[in-house]
Amino acid sequence: MAQQALVGKRGQQIESGGSTRLILSPREQRIHRIHQLAQVADLMHRVAQRHILGHVAVAGSPLARVLGVEPDHLAGAALDVLEVAQVRVVVVVAPIAQDDHGGAVIDRAHVIAREGRQAIAQVGVVVSGPDAILHRDTPGDVGTQTKIVTEQTREDVAHVVVAAGKRLGEALRTIEEYLKTSDPLRAHLVEQIRYRFYDLEQRIAFTLRPAACLFANVRLYVLITESICKNNWRDVAEASLAGGADCLQLREKNLESGQLLQRAIVIADLCRKHGAISIINDRPDIALLANADGVHVGQTDLPPRDVRKLIGPKKILGVSTHILEQAKRAMLDGADYLGVGPFFRSETKPRDFVAGADLARQVAQNISLPAVAIAGINEQNVDEVLASGIKAVAVTAAVCASDDPRGAAERLKKMLV
């Protein structure tokens, strides 16, 4: 008799093919799958360690015999390492990253893993999974008794990536060094695999953005430029925050560095006082010195990947984008949020083009990073922005040029929440 289809409500137990199964929600299924993969990863990691220990020992020595490892198990060890890489570094970590970017990294990981399998097959005889598991010796594993305090905790997912990457690099490097004693050509092959995984590790690291979580709730983003302000720039900044601004960006193109730093310190202090985010335009050095929350760069400024190297993983990085391809690239390069525009024509920053609602819709539909629409936005047209799917707006004149910047910010904020 054909097995009956599994149909039922979440949490309901149903019988099918003589067995009882529990219907799980998609999220529960995903979590269950991750747990399964983590268990497999742990097993394969231990197997790889056992194989590597055996190959470091002299073939035929008492240690090798105790471990039950034969010299031709090297390829099996390498394949185990590939399993560890795919499961530990990619499948368990990537679902926690942004969905669309995580998918791109997973695709890249599968390509590298496939290439690695093809290359490692040239190293030696492949050992099947069941055969490799026979060499596991949990009671004799020193790791069961040897623990340090820092081993029991991880600060965040990025640290998990680093730890997994280090294990992978060490395992591949051990195999590579061992092969140098007998087959330099194959040692070089393993070295190439190791560098491929270094590339993968870096790509994954750029997807993990703890700072993006901080920015996710921003709705009203005000750019502070003295020449646009009707009142004193500091008074305007404080009024904007009192009116509900979630983020201030200091945008001053013509100030000397020393004066810009002093102003950045004031903006950062005001934002901390009001529980808002402080961003410095163009200058990662000023953002760091002022202890601001982050920096925003445009398409002609320092490349986002280089800025991320300067500011580290905990500062916020915003990138201006004018076409969808730029938005996708910014995401891959480590942006925490996207500036999307120009949405309308703007007297504050005149341009010879308008990206408009089309780009905003594309970004809202295709990219899960927080996005902020910018240029020409005010109380009269903000509904058009929201209709595109973008949830946050960046304004300058609509607040700074107002006689009542606090009131202007309050009215805009009410339209956004």
> Do the bridges between strand 294-297 and strand 316-321 make them parallel or antiparallel, or are there none, so unpaired?
parallel
Least confident of 12-16, 210-214, 386-390: 12-16
Q: Is residue 377 domain-shared with residue 349, that is, in the same domain? A: yes
In sequence order, the 6+-apart residues with CB closer than 8 A to the CB of 171 are 48, 49, 52, 77, 81, 84
Q: Is residue 173 domain-shared with residue 99, that is, in the same domain? A: yes
Q: Of 208, 238, 253, which residue constitutes the final position of a domain? A: 208
Q: What is the dihedral of CA 307, 312, 317, 319, to 10 degrees?
A: 30
Residue 123 maps to a domain: yes
Residue 350, number of CB atoms within 10 A of its CB: 9
Percent of residues, the chain, with pLDDT higher than 90: 42
Q: Is residue 179 domain-shared with residue 44, that is, in the same domain? A: yes
Give the pLDDT of residue 208: 64
Range of the domain at 367: 211-416
Q: Is residue 116 domain-shared with residue 127, that is, in the same domain? A: yes
Q: What is the CATH number of the domain that holds 300?
A: 3.20.20.70
Residue 187 maps to a domain: yes
Q: In terms of pLDDT, which residue wins out, 241 or 77?
A: 241
Q: Of 208, 239, 269, which residue constitutes the final position of a domain? A: 208
Q: First-to-last CA distance in the chain?
A: 56
Residue 236 maps to a domain: yes
Q: Is residue 239 domain-shared with residue 315, that is, in the same domain? A: yes
Whether the bond into 342 is cis, omega within 30 of 0: yes
Q: Is residue 175 domain-shared with residue 200, that is, in the same domain? A: yes
Residue linked to tokens 């730093």: 261
Q: Which residues are catalytic?
A: 251, 320, 349
Extract the runs of DSSP E, i.e. beta strands, from 261-413.
277-281, 294-297, 316-321, 337-340, 371-374, 392-395
Of 311, 328, 249, 322, nearest to 281 by C-alpha is: 249
pTM: 0.64
Domain count, the chain: 2
Residue 7 maps to a domain: no
Of 331, 333, 234, 315, nearest to 277 by C-alpha is: 315
**pLDDT band of 214, cuts 50, 70, 90:** confident
pLDDT tens readout for residues 350-371? 777 899 999 999 999 988 889 9
Sign of the dihedral defined by the CA atoms of residues 179, 117, 333, 353, in that order = positive
Residue 349 maps to a domain: yes
Residue 4 maps to a domain: no
d(CA 292, CA 278): 5
Q: Is residue 152 domain-shared with residue 172, that is, in the same domain? A: yes
Q: Is residue 240 domain-shared with residue 191, that is, in the same domain? A: no
Q: Is residue 166 domain-shared with residue 257, that is, in the same domain? A: no
Q: Of 176, 208, 240, which residue constitutes the final position of a domain? A: 208
Say whether 321 sits in a helix, a strand or coil.
Answer: strand
Q: Is residue 113 domain-shared with residue 241, that is, in the same domain? A: no
Q: Is residue 86 domain-shared with residue 109, that is, in the same domain? A: yes
Of 316, 361, 349, nearest to 334 by C-alpha is: 316
pLDDT tens readout for residues 31-42? 555 454 444 444
pLDDT tens readout for residues 79-113? 444 444 444 444 334 443 444 444 554 555 555 55
d(CA 259, CA 266): 11
In sequence order, the 6+-apart residues with CB closer than 8 A to the CB of 205 are 158, 161, 162, 313
Q: What are phi and psi of 371, to 5 degrees?
A: -130, 145
Q: What is the dihedral of CA 287, 293, 298, 302, to 10 degrees?
A: 50
Q: Is residue 148 domain-shared with residue 235, that is, in the same domain? A: no
Least confident of 125-129, 167-171, 198-202, 271-275: 125-129
Q: What are phi and psi of 155, to 5 degrees?
A: -65, -40
Residues pairing with 281 in the sheet: 296
d(CA 281, CA 319): 10
- Residue at 259: amino acid letter: Q
Residue 136 maps to a domain: yes
Residue linked to tokens 């019988």: 15
Percent of residues, the chain, with pLDDT higher than 70: 60
Residue 5 maps to a domain: no
